[in-house]
Amino acid sequence: MRKVLVSTLEKKLKTWQKRLKLDSWNIKIVYRHCGKNNAARVEYCEPVEKTAIVAICPTYYNRKGYNVSWTIDSLIVHELLHIEMWKEVEALPTAVKSRKKFQEFEEYLCDRYAKIIVDMNKRRS
């Protein structure tokens, strides 16, 4: 996958927001470095005001050994799933949500369902 234009990111975000019924949210998408091991992340999320910022790492795909099965669509859907769960996750006790096992589980769910959702939409169109 090559880096795409910001306007393409914005268009894809709007499409997936609609499909995932998150179109009442005000979500911004930006290119920004996301730390050593992340291709993307939710940089900011305020569920009450329904505002969020999704960051996509501009250089992630230039690295050696990146995960080729990840498209920009699956990255966006993955982050939208985090946004969907944000309020519930935040409400959990710190002892639970700070546990590595729990964080890995959340990542597993977002990865798995992002791929399923993107695949289902490929077959439909």
Q: Which residues bind Zn ion (CB under 5 A)?
A: 107, 110
Diameter of the chain measured on Cα atoms: 43
Closest CB 91 distance from Zn ion, rounded Å: 18
Query: 3-class SS at 68?
Result: coil
Of 90 and 107, the one with the shorter C-beta distance to Zn ion is 107
Minimum distance, C-beta of residue 68 to Zn ion, in the bound complex (Å): 18
Residue whose structure tokens are 């639970």: 96
The smaller minimum CB distance to Zn ion, of residues 107 and 119, is found at 107
Cα separation, 105 vs 56, in Å, equals 21
- Which of 12, 76 has the CB closer to Zn ion? 76
Give me the least distance between CB of 103 and Zn ion, in Å please. 9
Residue 24 sits at φ, ψ, to 5 deg, of -85, -5
